[in-house]
Structure 1
Amino acid sequence: MRSVRPLSIFPQGHFLGRTETRWSAGGFALARMVPTVPEHEVHEHTHAEAHFVVLLRGEYLSSAEGAPALAREPLVVYNPPGTLHRDRFRGDSAGGEFMTVTLGMDTLRDYAQAVALPDRPRAFAAHEGLAWRRLAGLATTKSDSEGLLTESLCAELLDAASEPLRDRREHLPPWLWRVRECLHDDCGSELSLGELAAVAGVHAVHLTRSFRRHFGCTPGDYLRRCRLAKAAALLTTSREALVDVAARCGYFDQAHFARSFQAAFGRTPRAYRHAVADA
């Protein structure tokens, strides 16, 4: 029987490379890095925290939505919490360079009030003059007095990543975004389609039809994603009992939580927590 390679789970700030410079500002952790793992040695893995990968030099293979078959600099990839992928530098990774910007869950929650970040990995063009270039430059010139500048540029990066959704938002009725925000903010609650329709002020059929058309999934699918992302974050950042994590994330019992989590992440919540702690 063919053996199954254990899934690698990367905690906050862990990436496949050598860190050249690392710094932080507010709720953002940044690093400028050189890849050290050859393409054939990179296996499927998941990241516990939301983050950006900015390709500064080299050739990069990414499964993110919008990424070309073979990416060359400049490119920015946003990965939400719990992203499962095998993104990697092509070949032996020699000559590559990248920057990472990692968001803690509190930071992600704070900025969710102002920007609509994608719910799945997405790549977008890093045009000349965007915040990523100035952030990369700060890796060599940073000082304690530049904390506000770093935070401001990170906020611009989030805004750039949310631009396609923001443009779409301008053409959507406000009720659809109220429903989406309700699912995000109250993912630990038992929500019914009738309650969401009441929040929206539209019929349930119209709600589900519009939600799928604009967000590519049903409200139930989106709620499941939110619950899993919240659970992964709690398992990474807290020592709460598993039964309490399950309850906070809206699962009616621990067994249901374990089945759903393992289906999404390839291992049980307990094994996931241990893997993150040992990473």
Structure 2
Amino acid sequence: MSGIVDLHVSEYRPGGHMAGHRHDEAWFCLVVEGGYEETILGMRNVHEPGDLLFCPAHAKHEQRFGQRGARKVIFHPNDTLAGLLAEHHARLDGRPLIRRSATLHALGWRIVQAMAVEDACAPLCAEGLALDVLAETGRGMAELSMMEPAWLRRVRQCLHDDRARDWSLADLAAVAERHPVHLARSFRLFHHCTPGDYLRRLRVERAAHLLRTTRRPLLDIALECGFAGAAQFSRSFRAVHAVTPSAWRRSR
């Protein structure tokens, strides 16, 4: 088993719009032609050929396609493959992941061409190329992990150590001893999200742990984890897990 599930090529018409929706499973998408704008977990990005995207399971996303439409290679990783990627720093931990390179673009076209050949070897060839895509991605993530500067690791550690604090960008810039704009750009480069997105994820992860291991009231958990109240807690939790905290607790 390659670990690649449901590998296929999808085409989207020019000017098309896909309203906000979710998938039950996580998926990878490699743009090979055209382009589109996507909003996912509150973040908006413009995708071009050569972009490899990871969409977490149950993450709400919306897409608007440009004048050329788009062609994408789409596939799902099974649990074994996701674990292997995590060992090589490409953690699929609930955040969108975006990589862009000419190498990925070339691999995407080779997958399209392989799948157009109607013989018994076509699926094997395409799956092998999809694994090359993930290897390229994992290699890039490992390189970024090793390159992350000490001052940026210091900022992340502050967020982990005091996730309930109402951090501002200025506060974090003071910790880093860097300009706020430089901090924001560097954080997105290495972690594919803003410091605020990262902090929200940390708070939700802590809240999920308390929901699973205690019977404490939701408001108590919300306040301990740094949320202003039950409403804000519910909105943030739904953005990550696609269900309310109470529904998530009942399902466990």
Question: What runs of 5+ residues in structure 2 fail to find an aligned partner?
Answer: 163-174, 178-185, 223-232
CA apart distance, 1:153:
2.3
CA distance in 2 between counterparts of 1:226 and 1:133 reads 38
* Structure number with higher helix proportion: 2
Q: Residues 223, 156 of structure 1: CA spacing in aligned structure 2 closer, same or farther, 3 A cutoff? A: farther
Tell me if 1:155 matches 2:143. no
Partner of 1:75: 50
Q: Which residue of 19, 43, 46 maps to 2:22?
A: 46
Q: Which residue of 56, 71, 81 maps to 1:97?
A: 71
**TM-score after normalising by structure 1:** 0.50
Equivalent residues of 1:115, 1:158 under 8 A apart:
no
Deviations 1:6-58 (A, max 9, x none): xxxxxxxxxxxxxxxxxx9534321112226963x522233443322233333
The residue type equivalent to 1:34 in the other structure is: E
How many residues of Structure 1 are paired with residues of Structure 2 in the alignment?
201
Q: Which residue of 3, 6, 9 maps to 1:32?
A: 9
The residue type equivalent to 1:55 in the other structure is: V
Partner of 1:107: 81
CA distance in 2 between counterparts of 1:33 and 1:135 reads 12
SS of aligned partner of 1:170: helix
Deviations 1:208-261 (A, max 9, x none): 969x96646498655456679xx8xxxxxxxxxxxx9x52xx676695699353
CA distance in 2 between counterparts of 1:48 and 1:254 reads 28
Equivalent residues of 1:62, 1:88 under 8 A apart:
yes
CA apart distance, 1:100:
0.9
CA distance in 2 between counterparts of 1:253 and 1:91 reads 52
Equivalent residues of 2:4, 2:75 under 8 A apart:
no
Partner of 2:147: 171
User: Which range is displaced more, 129-138 or 250-259?
Assistant: 250-259
Deviations 1:151-196 (A, max 9, x none): 432232123334543222233599x99xx9xxxxxxxxxxx849xx
CA distance in 1 between counterparts of 2:139 and 2:3 reads 23
Q: Residues 27, 263 of structure 1: CA spacing in aligned structure 2 closer, same or farther, 3 A cutoff? A: closer
Equivalent residues of 1:60, 1:88 under 8 A apart:
yes
Partner of 2:110: 134
The residue type equivalent to 1:78 in the other structure is: L
CA apart distance, 1:106:
4.2
Equivalent residues of 2:51, 2:100 under 8 A apart:
yes
**TM-score after normalising by structure 2:** 0.54
The residue type equivalent to 1:31 in the other structure is: H
Equivalent residues of 2:31, 2:108 under 8 A apart:
no
CA distance in 1 between counterparts of 2:45 and 2:148 reads 26
Partner of 2:227: none
